Amino acid sequence: MGYALQQLINGLSLGAMYGLIAIGYTMVYGIIGMINFAHGEIYMIGAFLSVLTYVLCTALGVGPTPLVLLAMLFASITFTALYGWAVERIAYRPLRGAPRLAPLISAIGMSIFLQNYVQLTQGARIKSVPPLWQGGVTLWSADDFRVTFGWAQLTVVLVTLIVMAGFAWMITRTAFGRQQRACEQDPKMAALLGIDVDRTISLTFIIGAALAAVAGVMTVLQYGVIDFSIGFIAGIKAFTAAVLGGIGSVPGAMLGGLLIGFVEAFWSAYLSPEYKDVATFSILVLVLLFRPTGLLGKPDVEKV
Amino acid sequence: MTAAALPAPSPLALRLRDALVITVLGGLLALPFIGLVTVEEGGALAVRTRWGAWAMTLVAIFLGRLAFRAALDAWRSRKPSHKSAAFSSTDAVLRRAAGTSLLAVALLLPIFFADNRYVIDTATTLGIYVMLGWGLNVVVGLAGLLDLGYVAFYAVGAYTYALLSTQFGWSFWAALPVAGALAALFGILLGYPVLRLRGDYLAIVTLGFGEIIRIVLLNWTSFSGGPNGIGNIPRPSFFGLPFARSAEGRTFHEFFGLEFSPMHRFIFLYYLIVALALLTHALVSRLRVLPTGRAWEALREDEIACKALGLNTTTVKLSAFATGAMLAGFAGVFFAARQGFISPESFTFSESATILAIVVLGGMGSQLGVVLAAAVLVVLPEVGRQFADYRMLVFGAAMVTIMAVKPTGLLARREPTVRLNPSRSSAP
Amino acid sequence: MTPLLTVDHLVMRFGGITAIDGLSLQVPHGAITAIIGPNGAGKTTLFNCLTGFYRPSAGRILLHEDDGSERDLTRLKGHRIAREARIVRTFQNIRLFGGMTVLENLLVAQHQALARASRFALAGLLHTPGYRRAEREAIELARRWLAELGLTAFADTPAGALPYGTQRRVEIARALCARPRLLCLDEPAAGLNPRESAELKALLTALRDAHGLTLLFIEHDMSVVMNVSDHVVVMNFGRKIAEGPPEAVRRDPEVIRAYLGEEDEEAADA
Ligand SMILES: Nc1ncnc2c1ncn2[C@@H]1O[C@H](COP(=O)(O)OP(=O)(O)OP(=O)(O)O)[C@@H](O)[C@H]1O
Ligand SMILES: [Mg+2]
Quick check: A113 and B397 CB within 8 A? yes
Whether pLDDT at B283 is above 90: yes
CA separation for the pair C168, C96 (Å, rounded): 9
Closest ligand 1 atom to residue C92 Cα is 27
Residue A161 is assigned to a structural domain of this protein: yes
The preferred substitution site among C20, C23, C43, C259 for testing ligand 1, maximizing ligand atoms within 8 Å of CB, is C43
Mean pLDDT, chain B, as a whole number? 84
In B, which residues are within 8 Å of A86 by CB distance?
25, 29
- Contact criterion met (CB below 8 Å) for B110 and B271: yes
Q: Which residues surround ligand 2, an ion (CB under 5 A)?
A: C 44, 92
Query: Which of B89, B290, B300 would you mutate first to test chain C, the one with the most C CBs within 10 A?
Result: B290
> What is the SS3 assignment for C236?
strand
Residue B195 is assigned to a structural domain of this protein: yes
Highest mean pLDDT (candidates B65-79, B187-201, C125-139) = C125-139
Lowest mean pLDDT among A2-16, A255-269, B45-59: A2-16
Whether pLDDT at B90 is above 70: no
Amino acid symbol at B289: V
Whether pLDDT at A277 is above 90: no
In B, which residues are within 8 Å of C55 by CB distance?
none
C207 touching B, CB under 8 A? Answer: no
The preferred substitution site among C14, C18, C262 for testing ligand 1, maximizing ligand atoms within 8 Å of CB, is C14
Q: Which residues contact C210 (CB under 8 A, 6 or more apart)?
A: none
pLDDT at A303: 64
The preferred substitution site among C18, C44, C185 for testing ligand 1, maximizing ligand atoms within 8 Å of CB, is C44
Whether pLDDT at C132 is above 70: yes
State the residue range of the domain holding B234.
Answer: 109-359
C53 lines ligand 1 (CB under 6 A): no
pLDDT at A154: 87
pLDDT digits (tens, 9 = 90+) for B333-355: 999 999 889 999 899 888 898 89
Q: How many CA atoms lie within 13 A of A27 on its CB side?
A: 30
Query: Which of A26, A108, A132 would you mutate first to test chain B, the one with the most B CBs within 10 A?
Result: A108
> Which residue of chain C comes nearest to A299, CA vs CA?
C15
How confident is the model over A237-255, as a mean pLDDT?
A: 89
Instruction: For residue B216, give the CATH number of its domain.
Output: 1.10.3470
Q: Of C92, C15, C95, C82, give the one whose Cα is nearest residue C50.
A: C82
C19 lines ligand 1 (CB under 6 A): yes
C164 lines ligand 1 (CB under 6 A): no
CA separation for the pair C73, C83 (Å, rounded): 12
Query: CA of C81, closest CA in chain B: separation in Å?
Result: 7
Residue B225 is assigned to a structural domain of this protein: yes
As a whole-number percent, the residues of chain B with pLDDT over 70 amount to 90
As a whole-number percent, the residues of chain B with pLDDT over 90 amount to 38
pLDDT digits (tens, 9 = 90+) for B249-267: 777 777 777 777 777 788 8
B91-106: b (≥16 Cβ within 10 Å) or e: eeeebeeeeeeeeeeb
**Which run of H or E residues covers position C112?**
helix C111-118
Q: Of A212, A190, A192, A211, give the one whose Cα is nearest residue A201.
A: A190
For chain B, how big is the Rg over CA atoms in Å?
25
Whether pLDDT at B176 is above 80: yes
Quick check: C53 and A298 CB within 8 A? no
State the residue range of the domain holding A153.
Answer: 24-229
Residue B73 is assigned to a structural domain of this protein: no
Q: Of B101, B135, B106, give the one whose Cα is nearest residue B123.
A: B106
How confident is the model over A197-209, as a mean pLDDT?
A: 92
pLDDT at B44: 85
C-alpha A199 to ligand 1 mean position (Å): 28
- Higher pLDDT: C150 or B98? It is C150
A139 touching B, CB under 8 A? Answer: no
How confident is the model over C242-258, as a mean pLDDT?
A: 86
In B, which residues are within 8 Å of A278 by CB distance?
212, 215-216
pLDDT at C261: 62
Across the interface, of B290, B291, B301, the residue whose CB is closest to C98 is: B301
Residue A277 is assigned to a structural domain of this protein: no
Q: Of A184, B301, A279, give the one whose Cα is nearest residue C171.
A: B301
Cβ neighbours, 10 Å, residue A126:
12
- Higher pLDDT: B10 or C71? It is C71
Whether pLDDT at B83 is above 50: no
C55 lines ligand 1 (CB under 6 A): no
Q: Which residues contact B427 (CB under 8 A, 6 or more apart)?
A: B86, C153, C157
In C, which residues are within 8 Å of B141 by CB distance?
none
**Residue C260: pLDDT band by 50, 70, 90 thresholds?**
low
Residue A100 is assigned to a structural domain of this protein: yes
Lowest mean pLDDT among A44-48, B22-26, B349-353, B405-409: B405-409
C39 lines ligand 1 (CB under 6 A): yes
Please give, one letter per residue, the 3-state secondary structure of chain B.
CHHHHCCCCCHHHHHHHHHHHHHHHHHHHHHHHHHEEEEEECCEEEEEECHHHHHHHHHHHHHHHHHHHHHHHHHHHHCCCCCCCCCCHHHHHHHHHHHHHHHHHHHHHHHHCCCCHHHHHHHHHHHHHHHHHHHHHHHHHHCCCCCCCHHHHHHHHHHHHHHHHHHHCCCHHHHHHHHHHHHHHHHHHHHHHHHCCCHHHHHHHHHHHHHHHHHHHHHCHHHHCHHHCECCCCCCCECCECCCCCCCCCCHHHHCCCCCCCHHHHHHHHHHHHHHHHHHHHHHHHHHCCHHHHHHHHHHHCHHHHHHCCCCHHHHHHHHHHHHHHHHHHHHHHHHHHHCCECHHHHCHHHHHHHHHHHHHHCCCCHHHHHHHHHHHHHHHHHCHHHHHHHHHHHHHHHHHHHHHCCCCCCCCCCCCCCCCCCCCCCC
176-195 of A, contacting B, C-beta below 8 A: none
pTM value is 0.87
Whether pLDDT at A302 is above 70: no
| C-alpha separations of C78 from B306, C55, C84 in Å | 10, 9, 11
Residue B185 is assigned to a structural domain of this protein: yes
pLDDT at B56: 94
Whether pLDDT at B88 is above 80: no
C-alpha B14 to ligand 1 mean position (Å): 45
Closest ligand 1 atom to residue C15 Cα is 4
Residue B17 is assigned to a structural domain of this protein: no
pLDDT at B422: 66
Q: If you take atom 28 of ligand 1, which residue's CA is the nearest one?
A: C40
CA separation for the pair B291, B418 (Å, rounded): 11
Closest ligand 1 atom to residue C43 Cα is 21
pLDDT at A184: 80
Amino acid symbol at B72: L
Lowest mean pLDDT among A9-18, A153-162, A179-188, B275-284: A179-188
In B, which residues are within 8 Å of C125 by CB distance?
283, 286-287, 290
pLDDT digits (tens, 9 = 90+) for B206-264: 888 888 888 888 888 888 888 888 888 888 777 777 777 777 777 777 777 777 777 77
C214 lines ligand 1 (CB under 6 A): no
- Higher pLDDT: B78 or B3? It is B78
How many domains is chain A built from?
A: 1
> What is the SS3 assignment for C169?
helix
Residue A93 is assigned to a structural domain of this protein: yes
Residue B332 is assigned to a structural domain of this protein: yes
pLDDT at C270: 38
Across the interface, of C100, C121, C124, the residue whose CB is closest to B301 is: C100
In C, which residues are within 8 Å of A302 by CB distance?
53
How confident is the model over C193-220, as a mean pLDDT?
A: 93
ipTM: 0.91
Whether pLDDT at C268 is above 80: no
Q: Of C194, C235, C227, C210, give the one whose Cα is nearest residue C24.
A: C235
Q: Which CATH number fits domain C1-86+180-270: 1.10.3720.10, 3.40.50.300, 3.40.605.10, 3.40.50.720?
A: 3.40.50.300
C44 lines ligand 1 (CB under 6 A): yes
Whether pLDDT at B82 is above 70: no
**Residue C107: pLDDT band by 50, 70, 90 thresholds?**
very high
CA separation for the pair B213, B211 (Å, rounded): 6
Query: CA of B304, closest CA in chain C: separation in Å?
Result: 8
Total residue length of chain A: 304
Residue B57 is assigned to a structural domain of this protein: no
Whether pLDDT at A153 is above 50: yes
Whether pLDDT at B5 is above 70: no
Residue A303 is assigned to a structural domain of this protein: no
Residue B255 is assigned to a structural domain of this protein: yes
Quick check: A101 and B398 CB within 8 A? no
The residues on B that touch C, with CB distances below 8 Å, are 83-87, 283, 286-287, 290-292, 294-295, 297-298, 300-302, 304-313, 414, 416-421, 425-428
CA separation for the pair C26, C42 (Å, rounded): 16
Instruction: Please report which ligand is nearest the Cα atom of C236.
Output: 1
pLDDT at B198: 73
How confident is the model over B284-312, as a mean pLDDT?
A: 93
- Higher pLDDT: C91 or B45? It is C91
Residue A296 is assigned to a structural domain of this protein: no
Query: CA of A256, closest CA in chain B: separation in Å?
Result: 17
Across the interface, of C14, C15, C53, the residue whose CB is closest to A304 is: C53
